Amino acid sequence: MTDHVSVLGLGAMGSALADALLKAGYETTVWNRTPGKAGDLVARGAREAGTAGEAVRAGGLVVACLLDHASVHEVFDPLAGELAGRTLVNVTTTSPAQSRELAEWAAKAGIAYLDGGIMAVPHMIGQEGSSILYSGSAEVFETYKPVLDRWGASTYFGEDAGLASLYDLALLAGMYVMFAGFVHGAAMVAPAGVSAREFAAMAKPWLSAMTGGFDGFAEVIDGGDYTVAGQQSLEFSNLNDLVAASADQGISTEVIGMVQTLIRRQIDAGHGAEGFARIFESIRQPA
Ligand code: FVH
């Protein structure tokens, strides 16, 4: 374990991570490419490094919270020698392939590497509801968990460094499709003079209650038997009424039409009597 952490990258998120470490009493060194972002952190006890190399050499755990995969290489490639024998936790958002590439790069350079995906916005860091996903070195995760836990609930997915990122992006995909569903509903009622705020008041409890259906869908998907009794059939929930009502309101049917396309593909393949979870097959096997 360490009581010293260096945070490289003081954007909104890097600053929040460094701040949480300072609050927890860790000796914290910070560095940012563009000077002038460390003032508040320094006032609260951080030490500002003049260069990325200085931050790496400060000792202890090195944390990267930069813009993207390219910026991680830009900062750390010239420092691979300095990082050898040290530990890098990279919470920059990268794709699974990019996370794996960075893990390979680190392994070649003798750097212990853990990849992270942050499921929080900066003001949530260190608060209830903040969740950070990790994969890569189990040893790094176990050793530094007390540090990582300062940012939010830490979950480890295994040695494949791409897994945390895959979960991160899959959860974000679910979120964006849900948001699009909410916005579609708001657009449907808008021509009737209903404000988005009024619609939100109805949508929040409804959509929250509907997440209770995830477990049932998951059981059917994992079991691989979409004929399980008690499900509403695809033919019954073919979404014709929803698409027609959207068109009648004069709005785009693209969002709801997308779901209907996934349903139709299964009906056309002879699975109309099976449950909604069957659209997993439409997604798994692109048309
Ligand atoms: N902010 C959020 O809500 C999300 C939540 C989920 C996870 N993300 C990811 O976290 C990474 C950092 O995000 P951020 O919000 O801190 O981003 P910015 O405020 O835009 O700061 C970016 C920092 O990266 C530095 N930087 C950019 N390019 C380079 C480079 N080539 N070399 C060195 N540093 C670079 C930038 O420095 P500067 O522009 O101030 O000089 C900032 O420190 C990110 O992956 C999110 O997807 C946050």
Summarised one tens digit per residue, pLDDT across range 154-208 is 999 999 999 999 999 999 999 999 999 999 999 999 999 999 999 999 999 999 9
**Looking at domain 195-284, does it have CATH number 1.10.1040.10?**
yes
If you measure from the C-alpha of residue 32 to the centroid of ligand 1, how many angstroms do you get, rounded to a whole number?
Answer: 10
Distance from the alpha carbon of residue 15 to the mean position of ligand 1, in angstroms: 10
Residues of the chain with pLDDT > 90: what percent?
A: 96
Could you report the per-residue pLDDT of 246-271, keeping only the tens digit for each?
999 999 999 999 999 999 999 999 99
Domain 4-159 has CATH 3.40.50.720: yes
For the stretch 23-35, pLDDT in tens is 999 999 999 999 9
Q: Is residue 117 left, alpha or beta, with left meaning phi > 0 and alpha meaning psi from -120 to 50?
A: beta
Pocket residue to mutate for ligand 1, from 13, 56, 130, most atoms within 8 A of Cβ: 13
Which residue has its alpha carbon closest to ligand 1 atom 29? 71
Confidence of residue 2 (pLDDT cuts 50, 70, 90): low
Nearest ligand 1 atom to the CA of 66 is 24
Can you say how many angstroms the Cα of residue 186 is from the centroid of all Cα atoms in its chain? 25
Distance in Å, CA 68 to ligand 1 centroid: 7
Atom 10 of ligand 1, nearest CA residue: 92
Domain ranges in the chain?
4-159, 195-284
Mind listing the pLDDT tens digit for each residue in 115-142? 999 999 999 999 999 999 999 999 999 9
Residue closest by Cα to atom 37 of ligand 1: 33
Q: Whose CA is nearest to atom 25 of ligand 1?
A: 66
Tell me the CA–centroid distance for residue 9 and ligand 1, in Å: 6
Summarize pLDDT for 224-241 with one digit per residue, the tens.
999 998 889 999 999 999
56-66: average pLDDT: 95
Residue ranges lining ligand 1, Cβ < 6 Å: 9-14, 32-34, 37, 65-68, 71, 74-75, 92-93, 118, 121-122
Q: Is the predicted pLDDT of residue 82 greater than 80, yes or no?
A: yes
| 59 confidence band (pLDDT: 50, 70, 90) | confident
Question: pLDDT exceeding 70 applies to what percent of the chain?
Answer: 99
Widest distance between CA atoms in the chain = 67
Compute, in angstroms, the gap from residue 143 CA to the centroid of ligand 1.
26
Question: What DSSP string describes 180-244?
Answer: HHHHHHHHHHGGGT--HHHHHHHHHHHHHHHGGGHHHHHHHHHHT-TT-TTPPBTTTT--HHHHH
Contact of 106 with 112, CB cutoff 8 Å: yes
Residue nearest to atom 39 of ligand 1 (CA): 34
